[in-house]
Amino acid sequence: MKISVHLKPNSRHREEVVVGDDGVLTVYIKAPAIEGRANAAAVKLLAKHFGVAPSKVKLVRGTSSKYKLFDIDRSD
């Protein structure tokens, strides 16, 4: 399943996933957007949100952008 995400790194907001009216998830992360730390934190938070292992969450597009596309493998 492909998920569009708006990532908010360095957030003072608590780390959470918020579903917008347009279907885009906003992911608030405390980690900075340096050396992939925010992406790694987003993978962990999305895995927790969807109840899958972090290895099942793959970043498809948007490595250096705040708008990202993730692929989540929910098959078991």
**Tens of each residue's pLDDT in the chain, 76 residues:** 999 999 999 999 789 999 988 889 999 999 999 999 999 999 999 999 999 999 999 999 999 999 999 999 988 6
Q: Beta strand pairing status for 2-8 and 67-72? A: antiparallel
This prediction's pTM: 0.91
Answer yes or no: are the C-beta atoms of 29 and 11 closer than 8 Å: yes
Residue 74's CB: how many other CB atoms inside 10 A? 9
Amino acid 74: pLDDT: 86
Amino acid 54: pLDDT: 97
Helices vs strands, H then E, count in the chain: 1, 5
Amino acid 23: pLDDT: 84
Give the domains, in start order, of the chain with CATH numbers: 2-72 (3.30.1200.10)
